[in-house]
Amino acid sequence: MIRTLNILFLLVSTKVEEAGKKAAEQGAPELPNFITLLYERYGKTALVQFLHTWQNVVFSLIIILILGFVAYFSSRRKTLLPGRLQNFMEMAVEGLDNFFCGILGPRGRKFTPFLGTLFIYILCMNFLGLIPGMKSPSSSLNTTVALAICVFLYVQFTGIKNLGIVGYLDHLAGNPRDFITWVLVPINLPIHIIGELAKPMSLSLRLFGNITGEDILIAVFVSLGVMALSFLNLPVGLPLQVPFIFLALLTGTIQALVFTLLSTIYFLLMFPHEEEKH
Amino acid sequence: MNLEIGQVVTQIIGFLIALFILKRFAWKPFLGILEERRTKIKSEFEKIEDEKESVKKLTSEYEAKLKDIEGLARQKILEAAKEGQQMANQVKENARKEALEIMGRSKEEIQRELEKAKVQLKNDLVNLSLQAAEKIIQERLDKEKDRKYISDFIQGLEKT
């Protein structure tokens, strides 16, 4: 019994080592999705090559279509006494609205659609990778950078709109009022500009890193499970990744929430400062 | 892994499309309906509050009215009692007057009877004394002298 276990362990460890080497050669292990499968099969055709190059966009598109259809069908027949789908949507909308308005105050209602869409979109992107044959678009830096740029531009626009151009520049210069703060402007201004630029960078890198890590983790454990049973020549492996799928559900939610929450706070920082003291 | 401007821009466009669709079909209608329901519920509550207020007012009004009615009833009872007492007094007064009258009348009657009795008595007395006198006269009439006087008297009467 113990011997067989030993052999099994040896087998697994050598396989894992091999897999590790392979992964090191190929980059991070990634679970196959239907586009990479297509690519392996029909890599020569232009359409598949196009799909493969734009796979993250394709998966984003899938999410956009799903969200759009759900939104369309849930709001098509809306009544004051809601049905089940409408009830669910209302619950989600009201919960998010309360969340954002709780942070931003009553003027947060204006930003609820943007921030709520951001949250739901990121959440769906994070969860899409857990469906076999699909891939999280948020595990690509291109996607997260795109979202972060959207947030960055909207935040700066809100800042200029709320504070005025002079007020916005004043805010960037660290609100100089007396001699010392005026002297410190040459230091404050670049610090603030770097700070503003660091916000989208941290946002995008955080989301990208977490989701990529989570996907790699699941991929590693899937391949481990497959390898553990590979000596039986079965088409299935041990489902070792199951606990990490739950972990991924947790981190996916948390990362979506963190991204949205930080965006909300960036908006809050762009509101006039008198408002914040209340 | 490496950034590609084309992909980034496409993803931005994708997000903006998602934002547009969700704003159009989810956020606006649902926030609107939530707001609508909230205002409706609020107005219903306000209506209920108003109705409660009016019911309270009505209750107090009716209570006041009831109190008024009670006071009125008491006053009426008092008036009636007063009237009754007055009536009773009047009846008593009348009875007393009547009694006095009756008494006066009976006194008079008694007086009259008394007078009558007195007169009767006098008459009786006269009769008795007359009878007595008659008797005495009859006894004396046997005597000659008396006969003579009487016959004289009768003769005298005849003459005149």
Residue A33 carries which DSSP code? B
**CA neighbor of A218 nearest in space, from A131, A144, A92, A156:** A131
Q: Chain B within 8 Å of A61 (Cβ-Cβ)?
A: yes
pLDDT by position in tens, chain A (length 278): 445 545 544 554 555 455 545 544 556 677 888 888 888 888 788 888 888 888 888 899 999 999 888 888 887 776 666 678 888 888 888 899 899 988 888 888 888 899 999 999 999 999 998 888 888 888 888 899 999 999 999 999 998 988 888 888 888 887 777 788 788 888 888 898 999 999 999 999 999 999 999 989 988 888 888 888 878 877 777 888 888 999 999 999 999 999 999 999 999 888 876 544 44
Q: How many domains does chain B have?
A: 1
Chain A neighbors of B20, CB-CB under 8 A = none
Chain A neighbors of B36, CB-CB under 8 A = 80
Residue A240 carries which DSSP code? T
Query: If you write DSSP's letter for every residue of A143-159 in order, what string do you get?
Result: HHHHHHHHHHHHHHHHH
Q: Find where tokens 């704003």 sit.
A: B23
Q: Chain B within 8 Å of A151 (Cβ-Cβ)?
A: no
**Largest Cα span, chain B:** 204
pLDDT value at position A275? 46
Chain A neighbors of B14, CB-CB under 8 A = 57, 60-61, 64, 146
Rg from Cα positions in chain A:
24
d(CA A112, CA B31): 9
Structure token digits, residue A55: 């796979």
d(CA A257, CA B97): 110
Helix, strand or coil, per DSSP, at residue A79: coil
Residue contact A117–B27, C-beta within 8 A: yes
In a domain, residue B95? The reply is yes
Q: Which domain holds residue B45?
A: 7-159
pLDDT value at position A17? 52
| Cα nearest neighbour of A88 on chain B | B30
Q: Chain B within 8 Å of A89 (Cβ-Cβ)?
A: yes
d(CA A52, CA A20): 24
Residue A120 carries which DSSP code? H
pLDDT value at position B140? 66
Instruction: Answer for the pair B25, A72: CB distance below 8 angstroms, yes or no.
Output: yes
Could you state, in order of their start, the residue ranges of all structural domains in chain A? 34-277
Instruction: Answer for the pair A253, A207: CB distance below 8 angstroms, yes or no.
Output: no
In a domain, residue B23? The reply is yes
Chain A neighbors of B19, CB-CB under 8 A = 113-114, 117
In a domain, residue B63? The reply is yes
In a domain, residue B68? The reply is yes
d(CA A74, CA A82): 10
Give ipTM to 2 decimals: 0.77
In a domain, residue B92? The reply is yes
Assign B153 a pLDDT band (cuts: 50, 70, 90): confident
d(CA A42, CA A47): 9
Cross-strand partners of A33: A133
Question: Residue B31: which of A56, A97, A141 has the nearest Cβ?
Answer: A97
In a domain, residue B42? The reply is yes
Chain A neighbors of B18, CB-CB under 8 A = 63-64, 67-68, 117, 121
| More confident position, B34 or A152 | A152
d(CA A125, CA A143): 10
In a domain, residue B1? The reply is no
Query: If you write DSSP's letter for every residue of A173-225 in order, what string do you get?
Result: TT---SHHHHHHHHHHHHHHHHHHHHHHHHHHHHHHHHHHHHHHHHHHHHHHH
In a domain, residue B77? The reply is yes
For the cut 60, the answer to whether the pLDDT of residue B117 exceeds it is yes
Q: Which uninterrupted H or E stretch holds B139?
A: helix B28-141
Q: How far are the Cα atoms of A125, A166, A241, B10 from residue A61, in angstroms, in the given order?
A: 10, 40, 27, 10
Residue contact B26–A56, C-beta within 8 A: no
| Cα nearest neighbour of B29 on chain A | A75
d(CA B142, CA B140): 5
Q: Chain B within 8 Å of A123 (Cβ-Cβ)?
A: no
| Residue range B109-136: mean pLDDT, rounded | 86
d(CA B141, CA B41): 144
Instruction: Answer for the pair A108, B45: CB distance below 8 angstroms, yes or no.
Output: no
d(CA B49, CA A13): 75
